[in-house]
Amino acid sequence: MNRERVLRAGVLVWLTAVWILLWGNVSVANILGGLAVGALIMVLLPLPRVPVEGRIHLWSIVKLVGLCIVYAAQSSAQVAWLAVRPGPPPVTGVLRARLAIKSDLVLTLCIDVLNLIPGTMVLEVDQVKRMVYVHVLDVSTDRAVDQFYRTVRQLERLFIASFERDEEWKPSPWHVDNPVFDPSAPGPTDRQDLP
Protein backbone atom coordinates (compact mmCIF):
# COMPACT_ATOMS: atom_id res chain seq x y z
CA MET A 1 0.00 0.00 0.00
CA ASN A 2 2.93 2.30 0.68
CA ARG A 3 4.17 1.87 -2.89
CA GLU A 4 0.78 2.86 -4.28
CA ARG A 5 0.78 6.08 -2.25
CA VAL A 6 4.25 6.96 -3.51
CA LEU A 7 3.15 6.34 -7.10
CA ARG A 8 0.03 8.47 -6.67
CA ALA A 9 2.09 11.25 -5.11
CA GLY A 10 4.51 11.04 -8.05
CA VAL A 11 1.65 11.34 -10.54
CA LEU A 12 0.27 14.34 -8.65
CA VAL A 13 3.68 16.03 -8.68
CA TRP A 14 4.03 15.30 -12.40
CA LEU A 15 0.59 16.76 -13.20
CA THR A 16 1.41 19.82 -11.09
CA ALA A 17 4.70 20.29 -12.96
CA VAL A 18 2.89 20.07 -16.31
CA TRP A 19 0.37 22.66 -15.10
CA ILE A 20 3.16 25.03 -14.08
CA LEU A 21 4.92 24.54 -17.42
CA LEU A 22 1.69 25.29 -19.26
CA TRP A 23 1.30 28.58 -17.39
CA GLY A 24 4.95 29.47 -17.89
CA ASN A 25 5.86 30.73 -14.42
CA VAL A 26 6.30 29.34 -10.93
CA SER A 27 4.08 30.97 -8.36
CA VAL A 28 2.20 29.88 -5.26
CA ALA A 29 -1.09 30.25 -7.14
CA ASN A 30 0.13 28.07 -10.02
CA ILE A 31 1.44 25.41 -7.63
CA LEU A 32 -1.85 25.30 -5.70
CA GLY A 33 -3.85 25.38 -8.93
CA GLY A 34 -1.73 22.54 -10.34
CA LEU A 35 -2.25 20.46 -7.21
CA ALA A 36 -6.00 21.05 -7.37
CA VAL A 37 -6.29 20.27 -11.08
CA GLY A 38 -4.00 17.23 -10.70
CA ALA A 39 -6.07 15.86 -7.81
CA LEU A 40 -9.27 16.47 -9.77
CA ILE A 41 -7.87 14.62 -12.79
CA MET A 42 -6.74 11.70 -10.63
CA VAL A 43 -10.19 11.39 -9.04
CA LEU A 44 -12.40 11.98 -12.10
CA LEU A 45 -10.18 10.38 -14.78
CA PRO A 46 -8.24 7.57 -13.10
CA LEU A 47 -5.90 5.55 -15.25
CA PRO A 48 -6.33 1.78 -15.26
CA ARG A 49 -3.90 -0.18 -13.13
CA VAL A 50 -0.89 -1.47 -15.00
CA PRO A 51 0.48 -4.60 -13.37
CA VAL A 52 4.16 -4.46 -12.47
CA GLU A 53 5.33 -8.04 -12.38
CA GLY A 54 9.10 -7.97 -12.21
CA ARG A 55 11.91 -5.95 -10.69
CA ILE A 56 13.98 -3.16 -12.21
CA HIS A 57 17.69 -3.81 -12.75
CA LEU A 58 19.55 -0.54 -13.11
CA TRP A 59 22.72 -1.83 -14.81
CA SER A 60 20.68 -3.65 -17.48
CA ILE A 61 18.66 -0.47 -18.07
CA VAL A 62 21.89 1.52 -18.53
CA LYS A 63 23.04 -1.05 -21.12
CA LEU A 64 19.61 -0.91 -22.79
CA VAL A 65 19.71 2.89 -23.07
CA GLY A 66 23.26 2.74 -24.45
CA LEU A 67 22.25 0.15 -27.02
CA CYS A 68 19.23 2.24 -28.05
CA ILE A 69 21.51 5.25 -28.61
CA VAL A 70 23.90 3.14 -30.72
CA TYR A 71 21.04 1.67 -32.78
CA ALA A 72 19.49 5.10 -33.31
CA ALA A 73 22.84 6.50 -34.51
CA GLN A 74 23.48 3.55 -36.83
CA SER A 75 19.97 3.64 -38.24
CA SER A 76 20.09 7.41 -38.74
CA ALA A 77 23.30 7.03 -40.75
CA GLN A 78 21.72 4.21 -42.77
CA VAL A 79 18.57 6.23 -43.49
CA ALA A 80 20.66 9.27 -44.47
CA TRP A 81 22.77 7.15 -46.84
CA LEU A 82 19.67 5.58 -48.40
CA ALA A 83 18.27 9.08 -48.98
CA VAL A 84 21.33 10.48 -50.78
CA ARG A 85 22.86 7.45 -52.50
CA PRO A 86 22.53 7.18 -56.25
CA GLY A 87 20.28 4.49 -57.58
CA PRO A 88 16.76 3.23 -57.03
CA PRO A 89 15.01 3.60 -53.68
CA PRO A 90 15.51 0.79 -51.18
CA VAL A 91 13.27 -2.25 -51.06
CA THR A 92 10.96 -1.94 -48.06
CA GLY A 93 8.97 -4.66 -46.40
CA VAL A 94 7.06 -5.87 -43.38
CA LEU A 95 8.84 -8.37 -41.16
CA ARG A 96 7.42 -10.16 -38.17
CA ALA A 97 9.09 -11.21 -34.98
CA ARG A 98 7.83 -13.06 -31.94
CA LEU A 99 8.92 -11.56 -28.63
CA ALA A 100 9.37 -13.59 -25.44
CA ILE A 101 8.39 -10.59 -23.31
CA LYS A 102 5.65 -11.53 -20.84
CA SER A 103 4.46 -8.19 -19.45
CA ASP A 104 2.21 -5.90 -21.48
CA LEU A 105 3.99 -2.88 -20.01
CA VAL A 106 7.45 -4.13 -21.03
CA LEU A 107 6.11 -5.15 -24.45
CA THR A 108 4.84 -1.61 -24.94
CA LEU A 109 8.22 -0.17 -23.94
CA CYS A 110 9.98 -2.48 -26.41
CA ILE A 111 7.61 -1.47 -29.20
CA ASP A 112 8.23 2.20 -28.37
CA VAL A 113 11.98 1.64 -28.72
CA LEU A 114 11.49 -0.16 -32.04
CA ASN A 115 9.48 2.82 -33.28
CA LEU A 116 12.22 5.22 -32.19
CA ILE A 117 14.84 3.48 -34.33
CA PRO A 118 14.88 5.29 -37.69
CA GLY A 119 13.82 3.10 -40.58
CA THR A 120 11.44 0.92 -38.56
CA MET A 121 7.82 1.31 -37.57
CA VAL A 122 5.66 -1.23 -35.75
CA LEU A 123 2.45 -1.64 -37.72
CA GLU A 124 0.64 -4.26 -35.68
CA VAL A 125 0.98 -6.15 -32.43
CA ASP A 126 -0.63 -9.52 -31.81
CA GLN A 127 -0.90 -9.41 -28.02
CA VAL A 128 -1.88 -13.06 -27.60
CA LYS A 129 0.94 -14.50 -29.72
CA ARG A 130 3.39 -11.71 -28.79
CA MET A 131 4.02 -11.12 -32.48
CA VAL A 132 5.03 -7.73 -33.86
CA TYR A 133 4.79 -6.74 -37.50
CA VAL A 134 7.37 -4.10 -38.35
CA HIS A 135 7.79 -2.03 -41.50
CA VAL A 136 11.51 -1.95 -42.28
CA LEU A 137 13.03 0.60 -44.64
CA ASP A 138 15.64 -1.70 -46.19
CA VAL A 139 15.05 -5.42 -46.73
CA SER A 140 16.93 -5.62 -50.02
CA THR A 141 19.52 -8.13 -48.79
CA ASP A 142 19.63 -11.07 -46.41
CA ARG A 143 22.23 -9.14 -44.42
CA ALA A 144 19.79 -6.24 -43.86
CA VAL A 145 17.01 -8.62 -42.79
CA ASP A 146 19.37 -10.50 -40.46
CA GLN A 147 20.48 -7.19 -38.94
CA PHE A 148 16.85 -6.34 -38.16
CA TYR A 149 16.32 -9.67 -36.38
CA ARG A 150 19.61 -9.30 -34.47
CA THR A 151 18.47 -5.85 -33.32
CA VAL A 152 15.09 -7.18 -32.17
CA ARG A 153 16.65 -10.13 -30.32
CA GLN A 154 19.21 -7.95 -28.57
CA LEU A 155 16.52 -5.46 -27.49
CA GLU A 156 14.34 -8.34 -26.30
CA ARG A 157 17.16 -9.82 -24.21
CA LEU A 158 17.95 -6.47 -22.60
CA PHE A 159 14.30 -5.70 -21.84
CA ILE A 160 13.92 -9.10 -20.18
CA ALA A 161 17.16 -8.60 -18.23
CA SER A 162 16.05 -5.10 -17.20
CA PHE A 163 12.47 -5.81 -16.14
CA GLU A 164 11.36 -9.45 -16.08
CA ARG A 165 14.00 -12.00 -15.20
CA ASP A 166 12.52 -15.46 -14.75
CA GLU A 167 13.68 -15.87 -11.15
CA GLU A 168 11.87 -12.65 -10.11
CA TRP A 169 8.78 -12.91 -12.30
CA LYS A 170 5.50 -12.89 -10.40
CA PRO A 171 2.51 -12.74 -12.74
CA SER A 172 -0.20 -10.38 -11.64
CA PRO A 173 -3.67 -11.78 -10.89
CA TRP A 174 -4.74 -10.31 -14.24
CA HIS A 175 -2.41 -12.70 -16.08
CA VAL A 176 -3.56 -15.67 -14.02
CA ASP A 177 -7.22 -15.02 -14.85
CA ASN A 178 -6.54 -14.07 -18.47
CA PRO A 179 -3.43 -15.84 -19.72
CA VAL A 180 -2.09 -13.79 -22.59
CA PHE A 181 1.36 -15.20 -23.12
CA ASP A 182 2.49 -18.78 -23.02
CA PRO A 183 6.24 -18.95 -23.66
CA SER A 184 5.99 -22.69 -24.33
CA ALA A 185 3.40 -22.25 -27.08
CA PRO A 186 4.67 -22.94 -30.59
CA GLY A 187 5.28 -19.87 -32.65
CA PRO A 188 6.99 -18.83 -35.85
CA THR A 189 10.73 -18.61 -35.99
CA ASP A 190 12.57 -15.37 -36.59
CA ARG A 191 13.09 -15.71 -40.32
CA GLN A 192 9.68 -16.54 -41.69
CA ASP A 193 8.35 -14.66 -44.65
CA LEU A 194 4.84 -13.36 -44.55
CA PRO A 195 2.31 -15.34 -46.57
Does residue 195 sit within a domain?
no
Please tell me the total count of domains within the chain. Answer: 2
**What's residue 188's pLDDT?**
45
pTM: 0.68
- Residue 146 forms part of a structural domain: yes
Range of the domain at 139: 58-177
Comparing 104 with 175, the larger pLDDT belongs to 104
Residue 190 in any domain: the answer is no
Same domain, 83 and 138: yes
Asked, for residue 184, whether it belongs to a domain, the answer is: no
In a shared domain, residues 30 and 79: no
pLDDT at 186 over 50: no
Identify the pLDDT of residue 143. Answer: 92
Query: H helices of 58-185, where?
Result: 58-84, 104-116, 142-163, 173-177
- Tell me: pLDDT of 142 over 70: yes
**What's the pLDDT tens digit per position in 22-65?**
999 999 999 999 999 999 999 998 877 766 667 788 899 999 99
Helix (H, G, I), strand (E, B) or coil at 193: coil
